[in-house]
Amino acid sequence: MEYNKNPQARPTLQNIKPYSPGMPIWEVQERFGLTRVIKLASNENPLGPSPIAVEAIQRMLPELHRYPDADTSKLRKAIAYEKGISFDQIVVSNGGDELIKLVSEAYLETGDEVIVPSPSFSEYEFGAHLMGAEIIKVPLTVDYHYDLEAIIRAISPRTKLIYLCSPNNPTGTYMTRQELSLLLESLPKHILVMFDGAYSQYATASDYTDGIEFVKEGYSLIVLQTFSKIYGLAGIRVGFGLASSEIISHILKVKEPFNVNALAQAAALAALTDKEHIEMSKSINHNGLFQMYLHLNELGLSYIPSMSNFLMIKLGANAKYVYEALMSRGVIVRYGGSWNLPDHIRVSVGTHEENAIFIDQLRTILQESEITNG
């Protein structure tokens, strides 16, 4: 036995790449000496939080000496009512991110295989690496849709979990109801599907499904949803999962008792009932997407039509340059390089004014550098 070695972290941690969040506004302000900076990089709700949720937080403040409800009972009841599902089919988490970690901890062992569409949300890989599972990436088709046949071909006896993100981050494309049904029907029984519907509420296509109907039909499927996007509560961290009571019971075993703080529970409960805020958020997004499409068409730029609150824009070889130039002018977007889309930038839909500033700055940068993307 060697006694002179430092404590060794688990080898699988070497596979974990740090998460790269959108650059915060203050950092860009400091770096470029700017006063006004707009952030269109993290798919947040440009309308802000529901005012009813803000009031609920304020009402809760005098109770902060109490631990939160470990069962998130009121919130789960409200979600159960809203989604037409039973209380024991719901788990509430510290953001959707935590749900991905909890599912990984509950289901994955070293050597298991996890099928991850590519490109998609990076946290799926984090969860798999954390547990020493192997990631099998299945590329989207050339037009950025799910390749069902390739997913089915990638299945092996070791496959434990399949992620499907719809609408998919970062492409904004989605899986149709019929495709999901076909896929679920052809899966062997030992596989769990995580259907990530973080952006579900933005999808408008008639053949879109948020996956919940398939949970109700009894498939081995867990649906992820979040309060960070349409509900405008990214800063307070609440997400939830919907699945069979059996799947939920396994996830509850690995959950910390007080994973969702008291303010977050109160805010989410209020946001769920604020239909006016939800409808306004949808409409701002819908109009914002069309505002962007119109001007991008004028500029002769191509983009991936989106069912979500963000848009992938193709800029060719100068995409990184444009991303940096936008930042230096006070518009933070995401560069596509981290998703292996080095010709693209991803821009979140903002308010009408924010979108107009983005378009103006983009136009100026392109004119100055005469970039076109064929």
Ligand X SMILES: Cc1ncc(COP(=O)(O)O)c(C=O)c1O
Helices (H), 255-347: 262-273, 275-299, 319-328
Report the amino acid identity of residue 88. Answer: D
Which one among 96, 119, 336, 350 touches ligand X, defined by CB under 6 A? Answer: 96
Give CA angle at 319 (360, 47), nearest 5°: 50
Per the CB < 8 A criterion, the answer to whether 192 and 161 are in contact is yes
Report the amino acid identity of residue 339. Answer: W
Nearer to ligand X (CB atom), residue 72 or residue 228: 228
Residue nearest to ligand X (CB): 95
Nearer to ligand X (CB atom), residue 121 or residue 371: 121
- Minimum separation from the CB atom of position 100 to ligand X (A): 7
Q: Does 348 bind ligand X (CB under 6 A)?
A: no
Residue found by looking up tokens 């996007």 in the block: 229
Q: Does 43 bind ligand X (CB under 6 A)?
A: yes
Q: Does 281 bind ligand X (CB under 6 A)?
A: no
Give CA angle at 279 (277, 283), nearest 5°: 115
Q: Does 265 bind ligand X (CB under 6 A)?
A: no
Q: Does 140 bind ligand X (CB under 6 A)?
A: no
- Minimum separation from the CB atom of position 3 to ligand X (A): 42
* Stretch binding ligand X (CB under 6 A), from 91-99, 148-156, 242-250, 358-366: 91-99
* Stretch binding ligand X (CB under 6 A), from 94-102, 135-143, 155-163, 261-269: 94-102
Nearer to ligand X (CB atom), residue 195 or residue 219: 195
Per the CB < 8 A criterion, the answer to whether 336 and 342 are in contact is yes
Q: Between 231 and 250, how does the x/- string for binding to ligand X read (CB under 6 A)?
A: ---x----x-----------
Which one among 46, 68, 95, 127 touches ligand X, defined by CB under 6 A? Answer: 95
Nearer to ligand X (CB atom), residue 237 or residue 329: 237
Per the CB < 8 A criterion, the answer to whether 231 and 50 are in contact is yes
Number of residues engaging ligand X in binding (CB under 6 A)? 13
Q: Does 196 bind ligand X (CB under 6 A)?
A: yes
104, 119, 215: which is closest to 171 by C-alpha?
A: 119
Q: Does 121 bind ligand X (CB under 6 A)?
A: yes
**Each residue of 228-241: b (16+ CB within 10 Å) or e?**
bbbbbbbebbbbbb
Residue found by looking up tokens 């977050």 in the block: 264
DSSP per residue, 31-87: HHT-S--EE-SS---TT-S-HHHHHHHHHHGGGTTSPP-TT-HHHHHHHHHHHT--G
Q: 95: phi > 0 → left, psi -120 to 50 → alpha, else beta; which? A: left
* Stretch binding ligand X (CB under 6 A), from 11-19, 95-103, 258-266, 295-303: 95-103
DSSP 265: H
Which one among 38, 183, 198, 327 touches ligand X, defined by CB under 6 A? Answer: 198
Site residues (CB under 6 A) for ligand X? 43, 95-97, 121, 165, 169, 196, 198, 226, 228, 234, 239
